[in-house]
Amino acid sequence: MPTVTRIAADSAVGTNVEFGTTAVGASPPLPLDIYLEPFNVSLFLDVTGTVNVTAQYTGDDDVLTSVGPFVWFDHSDLTSKSADSVGTIISPVTAVRMVTNSGTGSAQFTVLQAGVQ
| pLDDT tens for each residue of 104-115 | 888 999 999 998
DSSP state of 38: E
Full residue range of the structural domain in which residue 75 is found: 41-116
Give the 3-state secondary structure of residue 75. coil
Instruction: State how far the Cα of 53 lies from the Cα of 78, in Å rounded to an integer.
Output: 8
- Structure pTM? 0.77
Establish if 11 belongs to a structural domain: no
Establish if 108 belongs to a structural domain: yes
Q: How confident is the model at residue 94 (pLDDT cuts 50, 70, 90)?
A: very high
Establish if 91 belongs to a structural domain: yes
Q: Would you state the pLDDT for residue 1?
A: 41
Cα 116 to Cα 39, 43, 77, 89, 111, distances in angstroms: 9, 19, 26, 16, 17
**How many domains does the structure of the chain reveal?**
1
* Helices and strands of the chain, counted as H and E runs: 0, 8
Q: How confident is the model at residue 68 (pLDDT cuts 50, 70, 90)?
A: confident
